[in-house]
Amino acid sequence: MKKYLFPILTVITLVAGCSSSSEDQATKEKQSNSGNSNPVLTYKIGSDDWSVITTNTDSLKILEAYQFAVDHPEVLNYMPCYCGCYEEDGHTSNTNCFVDSVEGDTVTLDTMGFG
């Protein structure tokens, strides 16, 4: 079972991080047309309140990817991102595509995980 865990998590992470639904695209277009920048998404560790994600997307895959990134950054730290975000945002691993910063028990999430 353990030998299948890493490949499955890798696929989930890549699919969630690099996919975009038409609803998410419509939301992005609406935000860019109204002049709004990306929303600031914060999550309190241990609260299990993921409304910051569910208000922006209905995708369970994206929600699971954010949950995994917050709970297991030690796994994603070894996974490079191939979306070109190093040049644009300085991301050094797949963790940076989901987690922007951690201060105490508050995590600021990166919107790149939406696709």
- The continuous run of DSSP H or E covering 109 comes out as strand 106-109
pLDDT of residue 26: 43
DSSP 9-70: HHHHHHHHHH---HHHHHHHHHHHHHT--PPPEEEETT----HHHHTT---HHHHHHHHHHH
For the ranges 8-12, 20-24, 39-43, 57-61, the one whose mean pLDDT is highest: 57-61
pLDDT digits (tens, 9 = 90+) for 57-97: 999 999 999 999 999 999 988 888 777 776 667 777 888 88
pTM: 0.64
